[in-house]
A and B are shown apart, each in its own frame.
Chain A
Amino acid sequence: MSSVVLKQVEKAYGPVLAVRGIDLVIPDGKFVVLVGPSGCGKTTTLRMIAGLESVTSGSIFIGDKDVTNLEPKDRDISMVFQNYALYPHLSVAENIAFPLLARGANRTDIQPRIDEVAAALSISQLLNRKPKELSGGQQQRVAIGRAIARSPRVFLFDEPLSNLDAKLRVEMRTELLRLQRELSTTAIYVTHDQEEAMTLSDIMVVMRDGLIRQMGKPDDIYENPVDTFVAEFVGSPKMNMITGKLEGNRFASPTGVVTNIQSSNHHNVIIGIRPEDVLISGDVANGMAGRIEIIELLGPRAIVTVKCSNQRITAVVEMAHLLGLTEGLEVGVNLREGRVHIFSVEDGIRITS
């Protein structure tokens, strides 16, 4: 268990900067998720922390120790790869034992530990099998078992759930979270899936183009995104973004959206509104007039796409409020008061909420 600190870490591949000076402080025992679109530098950052990628400039500390130039084996970490990277020639038990044996443990001494880990992940019945005889979910469990067999100072996860089917992914996500809470070992987790990032993280780090755009508690980032990129990246379905003019308290877009917003008097702005803050009523006179284009049922709620003049707006509607709404129906659309985010048109930076 240790904190992890990155100081102005950069990674260049020839002339291309993959990571452009990252400062990151990860407190002891926290679950940190690096999230961003592909090519944002999140995996490169993780690999630099693991020591699998050299650092072009800057330094990395695990605990008080500067590990910038240490071999991976000397960093006291465990890692789970996207494709699990199980040793194909070893049995499940030998895979789990590997990090212990590699560090000079005695085979008979570690047997209880292997049994314990296998029991915790319900893979006790698989111990004698080879990796190729396992399903994807089972391989995943073995990979996690191998990571926790030793008590490393830091867990590193590189999109470990991406290869699983949707249902299993959600199950494993919960299990991973439970394990990390039990062990309270610092964990750094990389994913491109913002939902995974939201559910898992104590601290969420949103990256883009080799830079950290925003970091903080996931609900903070969700509520107060710093710019349009973060606003659109975090949350599903994504935030509605409407470009227009703000005069006094009246916002109007070229696409025909007109609404009242309490705000200071910036001229050209982008307003953002989360789908769950878009209110739809059967009464056309109530708010902007719109027409329902598509209703996508999700179970307890539905995604409703409404067209107001020339602007498509996505709304999330609870099942209870969906009664009477049908595709093609004319409706009234309101944006929930105080929930509109305002961003600058020039650089996309948040102006006020």
Chain B
Amino acid sequence: MSSLFIKNPEKIRRWNIAGNFILAGAGIAVASPFLWVLFASFKSGSQLNNPTLIAFTPNLENWKIVLNSGIFQSALRSAAVGIITVSIAIIVGSMGAYSISRYKTGGSATRFGILAAQVLPPAVLVFPLLDLAYRLRVNGTLTSVIAAHLSLVLPVVTWFLIGFFDAAPKEVEEQALVDGLSRFQAFRKVVLPQVGPGIGASAIFGFVVSWNDLFYALILAPGNAATLPVRIAGFNTFRGVELGAMSAAILVSVIPVLIASFFIQRHLVRGISGGAVKF
């Protein structure tokens, strides 16, 4: 019987080689747009007309334009918007998710309907938000952008965390109550640490959503409060798309996210799968 399970080593080796080829192909497919953007950022106007041109003398003209365009201020603004959005979403969302998980707040309608707003196209929400921003005199500021981003990020973070709270054993929390903590202390000191991976994963997810958003930022805060995607879109001028400069700007936007995900990818996967088990 056992011979059934012993595989021919030669066969295994061949499969491994084939597998590596497939992986390499997939890797190239994913990496090639990045490489294209990377090359484009060092090309001159005429070279850009030839997308397949690989051997050329790089010039830094595009980068000079981008670095003088206030892109770092925009990146800082995007980072601030992302961090504030995520902080609020985690604080509010974790408490909301805990309440929905433990006390069935709002019944199953809340539990599963919380993502309903995600079905709406952003265009439906943006004009009410713009009107509100005018009335509150926060139009053109990052406050309005953060509010808009919360409408995207908060429901997702909450929904995502419900599964993590479901998975945290109730007895541990009850033990904390008996051991001398109040309900809120037990939540903060005992329950939250158990859903740490979920909080990490949803924070990263929320940050990326906020960091990449163009639509809300473009309408609610153009001009002096432009975030990074708005700044990138700005290279689409009335004279045409400044492809080289835009490529350089895209790299500025992508690189921090790439670096961050390289360091946290393991936690991210663990966090996502940890929650997924419960759904």
Report the interface size class on chain B.
10 to 19
Chain A residues closer than 8 Å to B174, beta-carbon distance: 50, 52, 72, 79, 81, 85
Report how far A207 CA is from B172 CA in the complex, Å.
Answer: 27
A73 within 8 A of B: yes
Contact with A along B153-195 (1 / 0, CB 8 A): 0000000000000000101101111111110010000100110
Task: Flag B179-217 by CB within 8 Å of A: 1 or 0 each.
Answer: 111100100001001101000000000000000000000
The answer to whether B178 touches A50, judged by C-beta atoms less than 8 angstroms apart, is yes
Interface residues of A in 57-104 (CB under 8 A from B): 71-73, 75, 77-79, 81-83, 85-89, 98-99, 102-103
Instruction: Say whether chain B's binding surface is mostly helix, strand, loop, or mixed.
Output: helix
Q: Are B175 and A73 in contact (CB under 8 A)?
A: no
Cβ–Cβ contact B180 & A102, under 8 A: yes
- Please state if B196 and A89 are interface contacts (CB–CB under 8 Å): yes
Chain A residue with the shortest CB-CB distance to B190: A87
Q: How far is the CA of A260 from the CA of B172 in the complex (A)?
A: 58
> How many residue-residue contacts, CB under 8 A, span A and B?
58
Who on chain B is nearest to A77 by CB? B178
**A87 to B182 alpha-carbon distance, docked (Å):** 16
The answer to whether A71 and B194 have CB atoms under 8 Å apart is no
A contacts with B: majority SS:
loop
- In the complex, A89→B185 CA distance in Å? 15
Task: Among B172, B182, B193, B196, point to the contact of A86 (Cβ < 8 A).
Answer: B172
Query: Contact partner of B177 among A71, A78, A83, A156, CB < 8 A?
Result: A71
Given contacts A85-B169, A87-B172, contact A98 B179 (CB under 8 A): yes
Cross-chain pairs A/B with CB under 8 angstroms, 27 sampled: A50-B174, A51-B177, A51-B178, A71-B182, A73-B177, A73-B178, A73-B179, A73-B181, A75-B178, A78-B178, A78-B179, A83-B169, A83-B171, A85-B169, A85-B172, A86-B172, A87-B172, A87-B190, A88-B172, A88-B194, A89-B194, A89-B196, A98-B176, A99-B180, A102-B179, A102-B180, A102-B181
Additional pairs, 12, CB under 8 Å, beyond known A87-B190, A102-B185: A50-B178, A51-B177, A81-B171, A81-B174, A82-B171, A83-B169, A85-B174, A87-B172, A87-B176, A89-B196, A99-B179, A102-B181
Tell me the A residues contacting B by CB distance below 8 Å.
Answer: 50-52, 71-73, 75, 77-79, 81-83, 85-89, 98-99, 102-103, 146, 156
